[in-house]
Structure 1
Amino acid sequence: MKWERIPVGPIQANAYILSHTDGSCVIFDPGAEGDRIVQHIEKQQLTPLAILLTHAHFDHIGGIHEVRAKWDLPIYLHQQEKEWLTDPTLNGSAYFGGQVIVRHEPTCIAGEQTLQIGAFTFDLLETPGHSPGSISYYCKEVEAVFSGDVLFAGSIGRTDLPGGNYEQLLRSIHDKLLALPEETIVLSGHGRETTIGAEMDTNPFLHGF
């Protein structure tokens, strides 16, 4: 099992492809350039099983239409952000000169649970603060957590968009993400990967909370 990062769109949001040795894969946050993501998967001769969203901001959902035009995949999203897919004000695109609308019905997630999709197993962690329905997907098999815009290398997610809450974000990071093994790779929504241990030691936003 391996992961690949594909920065997409003008904000360079990270889409991820997590693939299994059986040839299947799942797609995290296809935020833009959906055709490019499709071509990458086809080149690797992978069979996608699902789209997993860490949250529903426009730069994480903008490529869904092209991906779904190729494959009829379920879209997993926290139930608190179901309406964000079709509301440019909630998903933030209205503030950045665009109108991102996704009309596909998602499979809504509620509560922390184990999600099994084919050969993939994820522990779902509710990590609100950047947005009300932010989810982090922990995959023990690759010792990685797909954290969206909750935690970055040396930084944390912004909280000045609708539904953001700074104290809640810090609580989510401390209670959920920092509880993971220190060697866990953090695959963030923007920028390079880091580890839980590195952020515990060096992230200035996490000290003194």
Structure 2
Amino acid sequence: MNGKSILKTGTIDAEQVTEDLGYVRTLIANVILVGHPAGGDWVLVDTGLGPTVTALEEEVDRIYSRPPKAIILTHGHFDHVGGVITLAEKWNVPVYAHQLELPFLTGKQDYPPADPSVGGGLMARISPVYPHKAIDLGDRVKGLAEDGSVPFLPQWRWIHTPGHSPGHVSLFRDCDRTLIAGDAIITVKQESALAVVSQEVELHGPPAYFTSDWELAKASVLKLATLRPKLAITGHGQPVSGQVLQEGLEYLARHFDKVAVPEQGRYVD
């Protein structure tokens, strides 16, 4: 990518990818900033890990000097909602997620436990310690509109991309074919600690240890491939664009059963 790096520390790594699109890597997961820093409405997509919430808040304040209009959640796994309660309360902003994700965000239903047998890496093996209990945002969280519109982002639409979680969504801007994929696709082998550290870009399906419906995950990748995105920012890994993205996504879609679905596991069958 040609984005301008704006901060690199041991806690977070931030980059402005385009004039109105940036991301902050919070240890292992990305938080997306959508909107021009110079003015106008902007929205935070996901909130990363809980221990990084203070550093994330400081970086957001530095870039925008104003709170977002809302927080959009691609899904509710622990590494994407770690700071959401703190930030939503401090900024006094609403949180939006797919209707099917609301039980996990209102304390009504826990996610299925992680499967440490898939992926063959350290991140997968230690996944049983990752939180999978529901959080409770109460009436602060709202369901996304059924028409696909995204609050405060008129050029964007949300796309239901389940499999990694029931209400997982990705965001797409048709005018320049920009994709915020969440964990429907990622650009790092998240099961491997070495890959997470090196951040070498390669297209992968969703993190295997928390993916509970592989048929839906495959359908979601096929759906995203038909969009032919030119730029993608994913929930894990670095942004990817151009030929690398298009060829990688097409290959992943065609060979999903072979390259993404584990040979065995708690949720494979």
Q: TM-score, normalised on structure 2?
A: 0.66
Instruction: Report the residue type matching 2:22 in the other structure.
Output: E
State the partner residue of 1:24. 41
| 1:110-152 deviation per Cα after TM superposition (whole angstroms, max 9, x unaligned) | 64512241x5432111111111111011134564211110012
Aligned counterpart for 1:193 among listed residues 235, 239, 247: 239
Aligned counterpart for 1:156 among listed residues 205, 213, 235: 205
Aligned counterpart for 1:180 among listed residues 227, 237, 241: 227
| 1:175-201 deviation per Cα after TM superposition (whole angstroms, max 9, x unaligned) | 2x1122442x11100001123753442
Task: Specify the SS of the correspondent of 1:198.
Answer: helix
Q: Runs of 5+ in structure 1 lacking a partner?
A: none
Structure 1 vs Structure 2: percent identity of aligned residues? Answer: 23
Q: Runs of 5+ in structure 2 lacking a partner?
A: 1-18, 115-126, 188-202, 257-269
Residues 6 and 14, structure 1, Cα contact 8 Å, conserved in 2: yes
Partners of 1:91 and 1:53 lie apart in 2 by 19
Partners of 2:83 and 2:24 lie apart in 1 by 12
Aligned counterpart for 1:90 among listed residues 111, 130, 141: 111
- Deviation, structure 1 residue 100: 6.5
Partners of 2:112 and 2:154 lie apart in 1 by 28
Task: Say which is worse superposed, 30-39 or 138-147, in terms of deviation.
Answer: 138-147
Partners of 2:240 and 2:150 lie apart in 1 by 24
Residues 144 and 150, structure 2, Cα contact 8 Å, conserved in 1: no
Higher radius of gyration, 1 or 2: 2
Q: TM-score, normalised on structure 1?
A: 0.83
The 3 A distance-change label for structure 1 pair 205 and 31 is same
The 3 A distance-change label for structure 1 pair 70 and 147 is same
Matched positions, count: 203
Instruction: Report the residue type matching 2:111 in the other structure.
Output: L
Measured on the aligned residues, the alpha-carbon RMSD in Å equals 2.7
The 3 A distance-change label for structure 1 pair 159 and 97 is closer
